[in-house]
A and B are shown apart, each in its own frame.
Chain A
Amino acid sequence: MSLICRTLDARGLPCPQPVILARKALAEGGFDTLEITVDDAASRENLLKFGAYAKCLVEAVEEGGLTRIRLTPQGLAPAPAQADACPLPEGSSGGGPVEVVLLSADGIGQGDPDLARLLMRGFLYTLTEAERVPRRLLLMNSGVKLAVEGSESLANLQKLEARGVEVLACGTCLEFFGLTSRLAVGGITNMYELAGHLMEGPTLSLG
């Protein structure tokens, strides 16, 4: 029996449109494997993460500046509508220790921007010294500037990553600031994954 492969050409489409196309295609079904072609790093990373999130077998082939990503739905794939809804995991009550820290700016609080950035640097250093660290550190808006080359907090983010903290930067935000190629720690993510993680459990938001 031959396998049915559906192809999507997402070249030139800004992030997150390739992920949205993939999600719609998975919802429609009618194929064994979905192959999406993209031409930028943020879309590639987002599709790889989306594929894993949607419990697909994920393969990526690089070819002449393009990436062809093959998503093969597995038996246990969740319905896409459920994936979008980002349900709380079993046993998650919304209370308890912080699992996720959201940094939505490169400084803490309003007022003097130099003081705000000083406080953020101090917070991230203190986190590296803490006995307990969160599972994930999500960076949005100007918070992504913390994770790029030249950031005063880069070394501390790398220390946190070495301690098992997953550092994830918003791809749209990196692209907005023209910093995608300068990301020096962690991975690139999209709003679907960010929203999912923010709904996973207790979250601390700073920015």
Chain B
Amino acid sequence: MLLLATYASSHAALRAERALKAAGVAVELIPVPRQVQSLCGFGLLAEVPDGALLQESGAENLWQVGEPQAGHWRRTYEPYL
């Protein structure tokens, strides 16, 4: 599943990115979309089987990312429980 992890700060997001990439997890650092509430402006997007690795990286919240709607490039974000 495609998950977005949000962090407490940009530094925390960068640290998590380095750690996850070093562990072989493909992640993409992206600006947190406006519909997702986060103190930090950047989060990590990752295609993972579940949220465990992202939670271990220090994520504050996880969001399940939907495919872009037809004719619309923005994705949907639902809280991942």
Which residue numbers of A lie inside 8 Å of B, CB to CB?
114-115, 118, 121-123, 125-126, 128-131, 152, 155
A115-B10, A118-B10, A118-B42 given; A125·B31 CB < 8 A: yes
A115-B10, A118-B10, A118-B42 given; A129·B73 CB < 8 A: yes
In the bound complex, do residue A122 and residue B42 qualify as a contact, i.e. CB atoms below 8 Å apart?
A: yes
Q: How far is the CA of A74 from the CA of B23 in the complex (A)?
A: 58
In the bound complex, do residue A122 and residue B29 qualify as a contact, i.e. CB atoms below 8 Å apart?
A: yes
B28 interface residue (CB < 8 Å to A)? yes
Q: How far is the CA of A204 from the CA of B42 in the complex (A)?
A: 23
Q: Is the interface of A mostly helix, strand, loop or mixed?
A: helix
Q: How far is the CA of A155 from the CA of B30 in the complex (A)?
A: 13
Of the candidates B14, B30, B68, the one whose C-beta lies within 8 Å of that of A125 is B30
Nearest CB to that of B13 among chain A residues? A118
> Within residues 1 to 22 of chain B, which ones have a CB less than 8 A from any CB in chain A?
10, 14
Q: How far is the CA of A162 from the CA of B14 in the complex (A)?
A: 28
In the bound complex, do residue A129 and residue B28 qualify as a contact, i.e. CB atoms below 8 Å apart?
A: no
In the bound complex, do residue A129 and residue B42 qualify as a contact, i.e. CB atoms below 8 Å apart?
A: no
Q: How far is the CA of A131 from the CA of B75 in the complex (A)?
A: 11
Q: How far is the CA of A152 from the CA of B68 in the complex (A)?
A: 23
Q: How far is the CA of A131 from the CA of B71 in the complex (A)?
A: 9
In the bound complex, do residue B73 and residue A130 qualify as a contact, i.e. CB atoms below 8 Å apart?
A: yes
A118-B29, A122-B29 known; 16 new pairs, CB 8 Å cut-off, are: A114-B14, A118-B42, A122-B31, A122-B41, A123-B31, A125-B28, A125-B29, A129-B68, A129-B73, A129-B74, A129-B75, A130-B73, A131-B73, A131-B74, A152-B29, A155-B28
Query: Which B residues are in CB contact (< 8 Å) with A152?
Result: 29
Query: Which B residues are in CB contact (< 8 Å) with A128?
Result: 73
Nearest CB to that of A131 among chain B residues? B73
CB distance from A176 to the nearest CB of B (A): 28
Query: Which A residues are in CB contact (< 8 Å) with B29?
Result: 118, 121-122, 125, 152
Nearest CB to that of B72 among chain A residues? A131
> Within residues 62 to 81 of chain B, which ones have a CB less than 8 A from any CB in chain A?
68, 72-75
Sampled A-B contacts (20; CB under 8 Å): A115-B10, A118-B10, A118-B14, A118-B29, A118-B42, A121-B29, A122-B29, A122-B30, A122-B42, A123-B31, A125-B29, A125-B31, A126-B30, A128-B73, A129-B73, A129-B74, A130-B73, A131-B72, A131-B74, A152-B29
